Amino acid sequence: MASNAIGAIGNQADAALDVSHKRVILASSLGTVFEWYDFYLYGSLAVIIGHQFFSGLNEASQLVFALLAFAAGFAVRPFGALVFGRVGDLVGRKYTFLITIVIMGLSTFFVGLLPSYGSIGVAAPVILIALRMLQGLALGGEYGGAATYVAEHAPHGKRGLYTSFIQITATFGLFLSLLVILGCKWMLGDKFNDWGWRIPFLLSSLLLAISVYIRLQLAESPVFKQMKEEGKQSKAPLTESFARWGNLKLVILALLGATAGQAVVWYCGQFYAMYFLGSTLKIDATTTQLLIAAALVIGTPFFVVFGWLSDKIGRKPVVLAGCLLAALTYFPIFKGLTHYGNPAIEAASVAAPVKVLADPAGCSVQIDLIGKKVFTSSCDVAKSYLAKRGVPYENVAAAPGTVAVVSVGGQDFPAFEGGALAKADFTAQGKAFGDSVGKALAAAGYPAKADPAQTNTPMVILLLTILVLYVTMVYGPIAAWLVEMFPTRIRYTSMSLPYHIGNGWFGGFLPSVSFGIVAATGNFYAGLWYPVVIATMTFVIGMLFVRETKDVDLND
């Protein structure tokens, strides 16, 4: 398929960015920054949202439910990719991703207005999850539109560079959300947790207005416009994309050999790292956000660096190298975060290791997915206390029917069977058990919170920056790689689905899955097996079965 418009642009491949190219990149990127800002507000405020909208659940379940509600937005992203991808291939790129940002912005604004659980009861979390799903649907159509739009404007040989600016937007969106949150905390103090957390969500109305104005100034993609004029657009993009094996095979390979690994590296390097610092290492929320922000400032320019590099050596080697490096180094890096972020936990776990000796048959997974289950066995009592306290422990099988024992540095504390106890007696015995174990943990050096004086801030930032660099390696070239895999007539639909299954499911569920693994094992680092296995899978499949695309002509 020939295109005079694109041919003219292609002749400028060795020229600097002209005004029209800059406008396309700026408009697409800035709008996407705002959209990711909206989406990540929820992730950054997950703990507060857990208290506001899931206060009817037990304390251990609030963060889990908040993370699951966060993941609900990711769960529906592939459906948004199908809906808006089809519209984008039938109607056009411009208007489709204009619609997505309106849906995203309004959903986020209404989260800021939504009454809490204490005001309207169970309706609050139900409406919250519905709004999160609308956000996910919108984001499912947003990314494919922005990436396709920019790539179809880019000169041949510079698509990696051009689309890398789209990749920056996700990190900029997270960074912007952190800045707004920190600013509100600084101005409001303790009031932020009560009602001030709503302000960043309400500010999305201003961002929405700016984004809509910018996108209304855009013209349709010249590649799509030419295809439409020639009458060659697809009449059934879903059928062509997923019901024909030739293209479906590419979709599957794009998912397993590219986006799945990219997704877990992305979310582990930013979101899981943030939760690890705050929830596991007990570093206070403001310090955690500042540490993440510092790493983002240092690492973000490398999105463009690796996008540019992929134009020189290929998309495949850059992305897969990032997956391999992450898989090989995640365990030592996160152990380093513990060593430099809260060395007291590391020292205490070595000097006075904690063990739970219990009959495995009496132990439940310490995640209550419905908020109704009461953990009453002696094993559950012991593990529930340690999980809330943020103490790593080792599981040791005991004889069937025996009462679970918490061992702190060799000192044993029997738990109790609470199934037959009245609520008041269960609470009283639980408090007595917690007081005795708590004193032993404190004496053994286990801190309730990280001591800022013991945190080696430069080393923590260095390790976080390495994680961000992995993110830039896998994410910088991914848009160009996906765009180049599929033909113009079904490009929006075909590239959007593997991207959003990878990032929405493999990546979006990472915090919940990994923390579930940690809660079940008592091991701080066991949750890392999830991203390590997925990243390794992508490296192997990508190396063996996914082709290099940097020299593909989008006009063909």
In a domain, 8, yes or no: no
Pick the range with the lowest mean pLDDT from 48-52, 208-212, 220-224.
Answer: 220-224
Answer whether residue 159 shows pLDDT above 80.
Answer: yes
The residue-averaged pLDDT of 459-468 equals 97
Within-domain flag for 555: no
Please give the Cα distance from 357 to 242 (Å, whole number): 51
Mean pLDDT to the nearest integer, 500-517: 81
**Sign of the alpha-carbon dihedral angle for 330, 335, 337, 340:** negative
Would you state the pLDDT for residue 34? 73
At 113, the pLDDT band (50, 70, 90 cuts) reads very high
pLDDT band at residue 341 using 50, 70 and 90 as cut-offs = very high
Residues 357 and 311 both lie in one domain: no
pLDDT tier at 430, thresholds 50, 70, 90: confident
14-20 CB contacts, 8 Å cutoff, 24+ apart: 14/157, 15/155, 20/153
Q: How far is CA 212 from CA 35, 167, 209, in A?
A: 11, 20, 5
The more confident residue out of 552 and 535 is 535
pLDDT grade for 9, boundaries at 50, 70 and 90: very low
Q: How confident is the model at residue 304 (pLDDT cuts 50, 70, 90)?
A: very high
pLDDT attached to residue 97:
75
Note whether 263 and 146 are same-domain residues: yes
Q: Is the pLDDT of residue 249 over 90?
A: yes
Residues 265 and 206 in one domain: yes
Same domain flag for 84 and 177: yes
**pLDDT per position as a tens digit, 444-454:** 999 988 899 99
Percent of the chain with pLDDT over 90: 34
* Tens-digit pLDDT profile for residues 123-150: 888 898 889 888 888 888 877 777 888 8
- As a residue count, the chain comes to 556
The reply to whether 185 falls in a domain is: yes
Has residue 179 been placed in a domain? yes
Domain ends where: 420, 443, 466? 443
Question: Are 226 and 280 in the same domain?
Answer: yes
Q: Are 148 and 218 in contact (CB under 8 A)?
A: no
Whether residue 375 sits in one domain with residue 490 = no
Assess if residue 5 is contained within a domain: no
Of the pLDDT bands very low, low, confident and very high (cuts 50, 70, 90), residue 63 is: low
Q: How confident is the model at residue 503 (pLDDT cuts 50, 70, 90)?
A: confident
The residue from 421, 443, 465 where one domain ends is: 443
Residue range 38-47: average pLDDT?
75
pLDDT score at 377: 87
Q: What is the CATH number of the domain that holds 122?
A: 1.20.1250.20
Average pLDDT over residues 16-29: 66
Are both 488 and 535 inside the same structural domain? yes
Q: Above 90 in pLDDT, residue 333?
A: yes
- 431 and 474: one domain? no
Q: Residue 14 — very low, low, confident or very high, per pLDDT cuts 50/70/90?
A: very low
Higher pLDDT among residues 86 and 373, named by residue: 86
CATH number, domain of 410, equals 3.40.30
Say whether pLDDT at 547 is over 90: yes
Residue 2 lies in a domain: no
Region 394-418 average pLDDT: 91
- Tell me, yes or no, whether 490 and 371 share the same domain: no
pLDDT-based confidence at 366, cuts 50/70/90? low
Flag whether pLDDT at 47 surpasses 80. no
**pLDDT at site 265:** 96
- Cα angle at 416 between 410 and 417, to 5 degrees? 140
Residue 552 domain flag: no
Report pLDDT for 11: 40
Model confidence band, residue 38 (pLDDT cutoffs 50, 70, 90): confident
Number of structural domains (the chain) is 2
Specify whether 329 is located in the same domain as 351: no
Residue located via tokens 């430099």: 340
Q: Do residue 220 and residue 351 come from a single domain?
A: no
Q: Which two tokens stand for residue 450?
A: 């990280």
In this prediction, residue 340 carries a pLDDT of: 96
Measured CA to CA, the distance from residue 5 to residue 224 in angstroms comes to 11
- Mean pLDDT for 242-253 is 89
Q: Which of 398, 414, 443 is the last residue of a domain?
A: 443
Percent of all residues in the chain with a pLDDT value above 70, rounded to a whole number:
88
Please determine, for residue 313, whether its predicted confidence score (pLDDT) is greater than 90. yes
Structural domain boundaries enclosing 288: 21-342+452-545
Residue 479: both structure tokens together: 């848009």
Report d(CA 425, CA 351) in Å as an integer: 34
Q: Are residues 91 and 182 in the same domain?
A: yes
Q: What is the mean pLDDT of the chain?
A: 84
pLDDT at 13: 37
- With respect to residue 61, please indicate whether it lies within any of the assigned structural domains: yes
Considering Cα of 198, then 289, then 338, then 344, what sign does the dihedral take?
A: negative
State mean pLDDT over 501-526: 81
Give the Cα separation of 193 and 203 in Å (integer): 17
Highest mean pLDDT of the ranges 227-236, 298-307, 316-325: 316-325
